[in-house]
Amino acid sequence: MGEQGGGGDDDPQKIKRIAAAAYDYDNDSRWASYWENVLVPPHMSYHPDLVGHFKRKFYKRYIDPDFMVEAMSTGSSGATSSQSSGPTRRSSTPPSSDNTSRPRDTGSSTQSARNATSRPFDRRSIHFSVNSWVILVGLFAILPLVPPHIFHKAYRLALLGTICSSFYSLYTVHGKPRAWNLAALQPWFQGILGTKEFIRLVYCLTFITSHLHIKFALIPVLIWALEHVAKYLRRNFSRSNLYRKYLEDPCLWIDSNASTLGIMASHAEIALGLLLILSLLSWHRNIIHTFMYWQLLKLMYHSPATAGYHQSAWTKIGRTVNPYLNRYAPFLSRPVSAVQRWWFR
């Protein structure tokens, strides 16, 4: 299953593409200012290819100048020909180059930071509060000596907090459909389908509605919450003496090891899928939840936000397992081929 997903693991541009897809744009005030100044037709505002293209351009401009952004496909570029050469500014006198536009973006990002400081209950503060709550109850739930009834409550509260955070993020970033009919729901749903928030929402809904309570399922949840809290603390409390004394080193470690944490989360998600398959042999089996979770794993494999980590993990699994299957269980080649056709479809 991994043969087609991970060729060229050492390609530096592939690593940069993975980092660009995994970057947390929603919590970067510069991205909000950048996206507000991009003129997009209303019917293309939820198009994932278009949004992803401008996210990659933003990442090249502000995060990694060595990152190479590929040109948009013909279908997308034809619908947005006015943006093909760069983000179209809403001003009547657009800047002539990136160097002239940076002071304006810097000013707007500074203004956004001031607004965030003056409003104690803005979107980022709400996300920070919820994710801090998730870390507290999640760490309490994974303690080995916690009584079962307390563990079950803490387990569900951690998942519920991530559900609330992901749902709120989806609402603030993508809004709600323009109308409650198929014509309006379809492009809106396509716009959120591959986002990290949607994947996390479905992940937590899958486990909070299951009668199985697996401590292992909290590992990705805690990683997501730690990454968000660390970024928020670095951005808003970098001048605090308390932060510099106790929290600066852990936050720097989390931020500098984002790729390692992403790999760890993807391995945990895949291991959970295998555990659910093994649970089908016990009295606690649930075929519907197992099928739903493997559909989610398939989405993670193909979604740009998580594809890099999952494709790399499945490639390593394929390189390890396939020789044993071919040698000791050749009769499984046809079922495995059928599963691969469904997986890559």
pLDDT in tens, 305-337: 899 999 999 999 999 998 998 888 888 888 889
Residue 114 has pLDDT above 70, yes or no: no
pLDDT tens digits, one per residue of 254-280: 989 999 999 999 999 999 999 999 999
pLDDT at 95: 42
Q: What are phi and psi of 280, to 5 degrees?
A: -65, -20
C-alpha triplet 105, 109, 112: angle, nearest 5°? 140
Averaged pLDDT for residues 150-154: 93
Domain boundaries, the chain: 9-116, 119-345
* Residue pair 188/177 in contact by the 8 Å Cβ criterion: yes
pLDDT at 1: 59
Angle, helix 307-328 to helix 12-22, in steps of 10 degrees: 120
* Rounded Cα–Cα distance for residues 295 and 290 (Å): 9
Q: How far is the C-alpha of 122 from the C-alpha of 116, rounded, in Å?
A: 6
Tell me the residue type at 2: G
Cβ neighbours, 10 Å, residue 117 = 11
Amino acid at site 311? Q
Q: How far is CA 226 from CA 84, 137, 231, 257, 324, in A?
A: 36, 13, 9, 12, 38
Q: What is the pTM of this model?
A: 0.66
